[in-house]
A and B are shown apart, each in its own frame.
Chain A
């Protein structure tokens, strides 16, 4: 929900900017309520439409054949209520920060997610950091060396990482850096039985970050390159040059700052897809994150956990887009987001 941009207006300054930012924050938070409600209702209904239920799978795995036991389980998990009643109960529970109970993990959903959440957040943050830094830097280099060998190299590299499936890239990285060179661990988040210190985790984080982040870096590279070239033709850049500013100063202070806007837009939109991408990468690297939990929960029809992850994922996307709107205002003070 990155905002619609009003026509450039004279730059807001000082307290006026803060007021505008708070107004924007308030508006976005109000808008988030119906949005979250929509996410919950749609996901709940989609899950209800899927064939097979977690109760059937649970009774199957536990070989429960006694009808009385099945009836008791149906009551325990609230499945004897009509679907609309289950939905209302779920929304009411959510309002009280109760995400339900996961029979499979035998613990509250929020606890099951909480166990896996730090690993996923770490992977997402590191991947996005890598993607943005590498993507922006490569895009800037390509735009400054346009139609040279460096431009071609960056373009080919971006094309390669964009086209390479992340699971394949992950396996290739494992084969090269873990199996052949023995430099990095094959998988996991820390050395088993080790202290789990920051360096150990960092050591394990490198390959999954590369596998997940390079795809997005490729996108940012292409967007950044074209955005830089476009902004470089703008009147204010020509004016800056006419004022006698150095090339680097023009590039960094005028072109780069304005060229970042499309990257920031994509970044907000892609928070959800990075989370989705982590499902695959976490599988390849045995990374104990929410992606693995989601995969298991879908295949075991563990609906409370699936819904919980979707709700939290939606919250992350909404929060990211609010942050994007605020960054917009910071990057270009002329912009007032409606």
Chain B
């Protein structure tokens, strides 16, 4: 998971009530109207390439997901649905999955999509770049006939895990005839992709926009409803707000404008704002302890750190209500695996002080027990504010804090390469499947020096490793769920890293835009079913 956007949109005030009126709306009325041009933007910058085989963060995911397609997607109701796959079923031992591939799908250059493209994509793109961490048990893929591919694994693989891999936002089927024999990372087609999706690449005016046009040969005969899709990049949130107000941009995803502008624009009746469409990419702000510092050897010290911090205050003050206190490494919108039955570290400074005393860290003459270096990752503006609050909260219980807020490259280097922190405020965005996106922050094999958004705390617990290994191969859904619940209980008690708050992302759209926010990862959806009311 990489992070490459600024959440500066949370910089000024609005209360959550500004959104309440829209939270239950379906954003789709009547019969779809054909034609028109939809202009969209998002709360971040322009991508480095239209398509980045390894993902490359939210920006290239946004631009590429309108062109490329995955084998499957997850619907709002939590069920999986085939896209380029028509169906899949496991073998009796769950060590292989037979996937029926959709026939009659053509790439934008007119060539047929075949099982060869699927095999190439899985072996040369997924395994090497896009979803490598989810394919550690992958043993190979075969194409026994023109309609079928068989994924093989070294160990039993749960159905939910397999389907989630197919749905991964960048697990695209790419054209073998374009990528084979080249370095996929530097292939020029990354800047003008040829894919199978509802939109065809037309133009990239760097520094300005992408222009996509309707794929007339799209396999879903009714889609796309629109003729053209423009993705515009406006660096400044105030500029985005003005462009939306002037009617130049119809829809903005992932916090496109500042909270006061959300309130102002929705008050006109011409726009709606919704937190829907982010259920499979819930963001959090986390606090992690560097276990290499002997101070954190006792878990009571780590628990005390979290007891000293008022998460509700952070949610209401720093994020203006667009957040809720985090209680578990699995986030509360996760209907499959979240449990509230975990070890609690509520805001209780007295308990924090008592735990620290008991752990052998009484206050010294200067009023401090010990001093820590707190690094607040500077890729999100709010992280600095959270850092300022955490510093005060910890100083209140006698922990001295040296706070730094380095910029993005420096933060990545200091947290994930140099491990140059005692406490770090960082961020995660996790889907429902906890392996490996969530678990890799806690397992020993997640400690990979220089690889960001993995286990930087250095936490290593054989019991957790064993438990995660069990989750990975448990094919009985009920038993698997119980194991994930157990995982949450252990981690919340061990507290090497916990979410301070779960963030709410916002989509702002003109009331003309229909069918939006209808996917649990709307930013990465194809948008073939969007249409504009007259």
Contact = CB atoms under 8 A, between A and B. Distances in A.
A53 B243 CA distance: 35
Nearest to B245: A179
B373 interface: no
Interface string A146-159: 00000000000000
Contacts of B199: none
B264 to A, nearest CB: 11
Interface stretch (A56-64, A224-232, A240-248, A330-338): A56-64
Contacts of A70: 450
Contacts of B55: 61-63
A284 B450 CA distance: 35
B211 A192 contact: yes
Given A51-B413, A185-B248, A61 B238 contact: no
B410 A52 contact: yes
A171 B242 contact: yes
A187 B186 contact: no
A193 B54 contact: no
A190 B255 CA distance: 26
B52 interface: yes
B110 interface: no
Contacts of B454: 65
Contacts, number: 148
Contacts of B515: none
A293 B46 CA distance: 10
B240 to A, nearest CB: 9
A296 interface: yes
Interface in A234-292: 282-289, 292
Contacts of A40: none
Given A61-B4, A62-B54, A192-B209, A292 B451 contact: no
Given A57-B408, A106-B186, A189 B208 contact: yes
A104 interface: yes
Given A283-B236, A286-B235, A62 B190 contact: no
A174 B129 CA distance: 42
Contacts of A106: 48-49, 186, 188, 190-191
Interface in B22-56: 37, 39, 45-46, 48-49, 52-56
A174 B242 contact: yes
Interface stretch (B225-233, B310-318, B392-400, B503-511): B225-233
A86 interface: no
A195 interface: no
Nearest to B411: A52
A62 B246 contact: no
A61 B233 contact: no
Contacts of B407: 52, 299
A178 B246 contact: yes
B246 A179 contact: yes
A301 B407 CA distance: 11
Interface in B190-218: 190-191, 205-209, 211
Contacts of A104: 48
A116 interface: yes
B244 to A, nearest CB: 9
Nearest to A173: B242
Size class of the contact patch on chain A: 35 or more
A222 to B, nearest CB: 29
A175 B54 CA distance: 40
Nearest to A116: B207
Contacts of A165: none
B234 interface: yes
Contacts of B245: 179
Interface in A157-182: 167, 171, 174-175, 178-179, 182
A63 B413 contact: no
B412 A186 contact: no
A178 B242 contact: yes
A211 B336 CA distance: 52
Given A52-B410, A65-B450, A179-B245, A286 B48 contact: no
B417 A62 contact: no
Given A51-B409, A293-B207, A61 B54 contact: yes
Contacts of B234: 187, 286
Interface string B168-200: 000000000000000001101011000000000
A108 to B, nearest CB: 12
B413 A186 contact: no
A266 to B, nearest CB: 29
Nearest to A302: B48
B450 A56 contact: yes
Contacts of A296: 45-46
A53 B409 CA distance: 7
A65 B190 CA distance: 22
A283 B208 CA distance: 10
A300 interface: yes
A182 B242 CA distance: 11
A63 B132 contact: yes
Contact of A61 (B2, B45, B186, B228): B2
A63 B246 contact: no
Residue from A56, A186, A282, A295 with most neighbouring chain B CB atoms (10 Å): A186
B452 interface: yes
A193 B211 CA distance: 8
Interface string A72-101: 000000000000000000000000000000
B409 A105 contact: no
Interface of A: 51-54, 56-57, 59-65, 70, 104-106, 115-116, 119, 167, 171, 174-175, 178-179, 182, 185-189, 192-193, 282-289, 292-293, 295-296, 299-301
Given A61-B2, A65-B451, A186-B243, 16 more contacts: A52-B406, A54-B409, A56-B450, A59-B450, A61-B52, A62-B53, A63-B55, A65-B450, A119-B207, A171-B236, A193-B211, A283-B235, A283-B236, A284-B238, A286-B207, A296-B46
Interface of B: 2, 4, 37, 39, 45-46, 48-49, 52-57, 129, 132-133, 185-186, 188, 190-191, 205-209, 211, 228, 230, 232-236, 238-239, 242-243, 245-246, 248, 406-410, 412-414, 416-417, 448, 450-454
30 contacts: A51-B413, A52-B408, A52-B412, A52-B413, A53-B409, A56-B412, A57-B412, A59-B450, A60-B2, A60-B451, A61-B52, A61-B54, A62-B55, A62-B185, A63-B129, A63-B132, A116-B207, A171-B242, A174-B242, A179-B242, A186-B239, A186-B248, A187-B248, A189-B208, A192-B208, A284-B236, A288-B208, A289-B207, A299-B407, A299-B409
Chain A to chain B: the 10 pairs with minimum beta-carbon distance, closest first: A288-B207, A52-B409, A62-B54, A51-B410, A65-B451, A60-B452, A186-B243, A283-B235, A288-B208, A52-B413
